[in-house]
Amino acid sequence: MQYSTQQPGLAIITGGTRGIGLAIAKALAKKGFTLELWYQSRQQDAEAALQVLQEWRTAIRIRQVDVTQRADVRQALAMLEDESKSISALINNAGVLQQKPFETLTDQDWDTMMAVNAKGVFICAQEVLANMPARHASIVNIASSGAQLGGTLAVHYAASKAAVIALTKSLARVGAATGVRVNCVAPGLIETEMTAMEIASQAGQDKISKHIVLARPGAVDEVAAAVAFLVSDQAAYITGQTLNVNGGLYMA
């Protein structure tokens, strides 16, 4: 059976106003998607993102949404219903990173990491799936190579991102009933504000020279290209997969 195509619709990108999220927004804007970008706390990033994306001449709305709060997510989605917009793509990109020795981690550290990186994906996916058109929609979750490799300085981060990979596989089975595809992108060491300190450190330089086959950090546009592929018709027979964008850091 041939997969029928349609024009790009509305894409929700959580954490969509800076770093990888903003790069994904630009990539999807180029493909003609209408954009709904969610951010939590940095108004200045939202304003800067709007300026950057205006050149693509696509409809853009930026909302402040805490993905760990179901009421916030439901309110944002209710606004979309009022605007009569169906959701073609959900990119669960919002996340936090903390590097801290395992023996010093607190319960609050663990709970915060799990709330944003794992629970936020769960809430958004559960609420959005009901608003997605059958056979023409896709969810992409952003995980990390840390989920596959582990790490002594970000144990809770690695665990939260491993949960995202497992959740992706389960959601792919759930979404299949209506033809909604669910995949995951696992970036390696990507140059962003979040990773700047790591890249500048001796440990970061050692990782680049000794463990990344391509011997360089990645760019946000390279992650965005993978996401753009997964939400496109070219990936119509791909679901439940984790696409690694890491320069050969993880090859298992």
Catalytic amino acids? 157
Two tokens, residue 72: 């916030």
* Contact predicate 90/125, CB 8 Å: yes
Rounded CA separation 236/141 (Å): 16
Rounded CA separation 104/131 (Å): 42
Report the b/e string of 174-207 with b at 16+ CB within 10 A.
Answer: ebeeebbbbbbbbbbbbebeebeebbeeeebeeb
